[in-house]
Structures are given as structure tokens and as C-alpha cells.
Structure 1
Amino acid sequence: MTTLRFDANLKWLFTEHEFEARFEAAANAGFTAVEYASPYAHTAARLKRLLDDNGLAQILVNTPMGPAGSPTRQGLACIPDAVGEYRDGVLRGLEYATALGAPFLHVVGGLVPEGVSRDRAFARYVANLAWAAEQARGTGVRLLLEAQNKRDAPGFVLETQAQAAAVAEAVGPERVGLLLDFYHAQIDEGDLIRTYLRFHELVLHLQVADPPSRHEPGTGEIGWSGLFEAVARSGYDGWIGCEYRPKAGTVAGLGWMREATA
């Protein structure tokens, strides 16, 4: 049985502070690692200094996404007409991940474009991931794939854990693995312990939030005690990202984590 390790997602937690102040707030709350989707508004050197000054490790960043409301707002990997922009984004993501010492780059799949068949978008997604895996070779960075639920992200290219696992197996599990977000998985698939155990050998990173409101564990419908025990007993030794919207303040809502790591 392993000891569970949780990192703070600085897009979602400590939002009562400006972004750069969230590093210190996370360290003061007892976190030793962080993740966040988009580092690109800051220089890698500045972010690395914030990590080092606060004794924090960077776990992952995402590939760049388009602005809210745009066709690329959920990523570019499945969009046939955006291959050049996608490749530029992957290279930029790898540059940041390497500079920050992050072991993972989440390649965000994207929404199937209007007028494009799901099969064509999916084929482009797999080809784009294979290209990204080649670019990541020798960097020490592994790529992550995440299925998202159809309620929050209708039209997202990856809809199930099985689909994501098949892509990882096809591209090469030595370079590509799963980011399994229990929030997304619960909404669309449920049966979380069985789902996790089915794919756990491919799972490189986990994320947590409690449906239906995406608050911290213990505020919604998931039975976290049994789920965390199953994860620990499986031998999982990766990080678990706290990607939730605190119900009443970040620090006030961390009691669940103290219980999970006791």
C-alpha cells in the first residue's frame, strides 16, 4: 500500500490570491507540488523561481489552448486544419515542461470541429499524438491523455477511459499514459474503483473533484474513502492533482486531504 500524494492545481485552488502568490499559499498549506493548465503568460524562468523559492515541484502543464469561445478552447490535437498550430504548441509545452522540471505534458485533445466526422478527428488526434511522442523522446517528459465528460465538454474527442487507453497503447505506453480525472469519469462512467483498476497500469496521473458541483472531495456523490484505499492498494505512486473549485475557501476545505493521508 502506497502513501497518497496530492498536489495543488493553481488554476483552481488559492484563487483568493493573484496567480504568483498562489505558490507561497500552496506551500504554506502543506503542499510540496503544484500543477496548472497554462504557464504561457509567464516566462519559464519566473515560474521556476517561484517553484524554487517555495520548495515546490511542478508536476504537469497542458499544451496551449485557444481563447474561450473559440473552436480550439479545449485543445487542438484533433483539429485537422490546425496541425501547424498544434505542433507549435506541443514544442512550446515541451519547452516549458523541461524548463520547469515537470515530468508530464498533458496534450489536450480538443473538440470535434463542426462539419468534421468524429472518425476523421479521431484519426488526426492519434497521428498528432504519435508526432508529439517523437518530439518528447529524450526530454524526460511523458505525454498524458485525458477523457472528459460529455456534460461539461460536449464533443470532446476522448469520451471514455477505454478510448484513451487504446490510444496510449497504440502510440506507445512507454511515452504516453492516462490522466484519469475521477470527476469526469464519475459523470460519464461511474463504477470508479473498477474503472480505475481496469486501467491503472496506464495511469500516470490522477485528478480529483466531487460531482455534481466540482467542489472538494466529500461535498458530493463519490465515496472517496473506498476509492482512495483502492488507489493506495494498487501501488499507485504518482501524484493526485486537486483540480476542484473550493466550496468555501481553499484552506478551510482541506480537511478531506488530511484524512486521506493520515
Structure 2
Amino acid sequence: MIVETAGGPVRLAANLKWLFTELPFEQRFDAAAEAGFTGVEFASPYSLPAETVRGLLDAAGLEQVLINTPAGPAGSPTAMGAAYVPGAQQEFREGVRLALEYAAVLGTSVIHVMSGLRPAEADAEHAFATYVANIGWAAEQARGTGVRIALEAINKRDQPRYGLATMETAAAVAEAVDPETVGVLFDVYHAQVDGGNLIERFERLLPFIAHIQIADNPGRGEPGTGEIAYDRVLARIAASTYDGWIGCEYGPVADTRAGLAWTERIAR
């Protein structure tokens, strides 16, 4: 979906984990296309064979924009990712390999490598060193494939033990490992909760940004339901050198289609 802002056009992708949830997952592809989206993202395609997901994309005329690395079982130490978990190296590597296999079939150019929770008993420095080493290994696997690794920080209000605490840390890791292959997932919602100052931080991190996601705050609903001045934020993104997709990773306050009226307000 192309939306014109005061700064120019932006490309919006539907996050099918969050949007069109009134429909079974397989039907959300057609619903997204009918609503005007040409790109989709979602965290986990792994419950379906990659060829099946590819068929759903092709039938709806959609591009797969982003997937995540696999998460461990609910309640496990790696339920939110394995990169930051000492002792989970084998699980991490298997997950990265699987994500790259899916990305090759789906044509995905961005993989969000999930940090995961830092175990309460783990030494903080050891856990961070584990994370950097794991991201370095993932970058080696992705190099030359056309896939960029994206690192996302989750705000400390929603998940205080999430390993990767800030986007600035994500940028430092990307720069240390390989900024051509590793970048930052700039999630506007998480950035607002953890520090705000969105436009200045976007401009400072711009050289490292591999993907952008949006939701409003509080409530994590669609833009226009909270405090973020999305007309200004999206206009600044549009006027910048960022030419990637913007994932709509929000929970519609009511109906998904009705909630998309925010795109018309931004355009006006």
C-alpha cells in the first residue's frame, strides 16, 4: 500500500499476525491484497511448508517483506528467541538456517533475528557476549544471500528482561559485526515507550535501519489512536533515504478495514 505523506510516499506492509485476525491465517493474504496492500510480514511462517506460504503470496499478488527467526516453545527459555540465551547456541543456529531456507523460498529480504530474554541467572556481560557472537555467526550465514539481518529492541515496560534493550545498542552491534548485512529494526512504538524523541533518533540511526514497524502508544493500536504524531513521523521517513517497507504491526482498535482509515487522514 502506497500512502502519500507531506514528505512523499511510503510503502506500508500488512503484518498478518496483527491485522485481519478476524479471518483464518490463510485467508488474510487475500484480505490484505483486497485492502490495497502489496506487501506482508509476519513473525512465524514455520507452521506451514514454505512452498504453501509461497503459493498464498503468489495467489494474492503479494511480496513477503519480513519474517522472524523461530521462537522456542511457550514457557521455554527461548520462547522469545535464542540469540541472547547462553547455552542455546545449537537452537539458535538451527533457527537461523531454517529462517534462511524460508527466506529463499518466500523471496524475503529481511529476517528479524529475535534476541530473546536474558535468563535471570545469567551474567549480563556473558549473555551480551553470547548475543554478539551469535549475530556475527548469523551474519556469516546471510552474507551473499541478499538477506539482511534486522535487530529489534523491545521496550522495557512491556518486556523488562528482553536481551536487546535499545535500538542504539542494536546499531552498535550491527556496526561491530557487519553493517552491510546487519541492521536495526526501527519500531516506532517501542522507541516511543523507551525514550521517545522519535524523529531525532530516526535520523541518527538512519544509516543502520533495515526495516521499520509502526503502532501507536498507548494501546498499540493503529496510528491516530494514541499520542504519536504519525503525520510528522511518516513524512520525515518519506523524505529520508530510507526506501524500504513500513510494517503495520498494530492491533486494530476495532475492525481492520475500518481502522485503515488512518491512511487517508495521513494523506490529507
- TM-score tier by shorter-chain length is over 0.9
Q: Distance in 2 between matches of 1:205 and 1:2?
A: 18
- In the other structure, the counterpart of 2:96 is 90
- In the other structure, the counterpart of 1:145 is 151
TM-score, scaled relative to structure 1: 0.97
Are residue 112 (structure 1) and residue 110 (structure 2) matched? Answer: no
Uncovered stretches (5+) of structure 1, i.e. residues with no partner: none
8 Å CA contact retained: 1:178, 1:205:
yes
- In the other structure, the counterpart of 1:229 is 235
Aligned length: 262
Q: Distance in 2 between matches of 1:48 and 1:258?
A: 30
RMSD over aligned CA atoms reads 1.1
Q: Distance in 2 between matches of 1:88 and 1:198?
A: 34
Q: Distance in 1 between matches of 2:265 and 2:179?
A: 33
- In the other structure, the counterpart of 1:49 is 55
Query: Cα distance, 1:70 vs. partner?
Result: 2.1
Deviation by residue 1:177-226 (Cα, 9 ceiling, x = unmatched): 11110010100110101111110111111000011101000001111111
8 Å CA contact retained: 1:2, 1:236:
no
Identity of aligned residues (%): 56
Are residue 65 (structure 1) and residue 71 (structure 2) matched? Answer: yes
- In the other structure, the counterpart of 2:18 is 12
Could you say what secondary structure the match of 1:102 adopts?
coil
- In the other structure, the counterpart of 2:132 is 126
| Paired residue type of 2:238 | A
8 Å CA contact retained: 2:8, 2:235:
no
Q: 1:185 to 1:99 in 2, by over 3 A?
A: same
Query: Cα distance, 1:260 vs. partner?
Result: 3.3
Deviation by residue 1:125-181 (Cα, 9 ceiling, x = unmatched): 000010011111221111000011011111111111211110010011110111110
- In the other structure, the counterpart of 1:102 is 108
State which of 242, 245, 268 in structure 2 corresponds to 1:239.
245
Q: Distance in 1 between matches of 2:122 and 2:227?
A: 36
Query: Cα distance, 1:2 vs. partner?
Result: 4.4
Q: In terms of mean alpha carbon deviation, does 243-252 or 131-140 score higher? A: 131-140
Deviation by residue 1:11-70 (Cα, 9 ceiling, x = unmatched): 000000000000000000000000000000000000000000100000010000012322
Are residue 32 (structure 1) and residue 5 (structure 2) matched? Answer: no
State which of 153, 170, 174 in structure 2 corresponds to 1:168.
174
Q: Distance in 2 between matches of 1:105 and 1:79?
A: 19
Q: Distance in 1 between matches of 2:89 and 2:266?
A: 42
State which of 158, 161, 167 in structure 1 corresponds to 2:164.
158
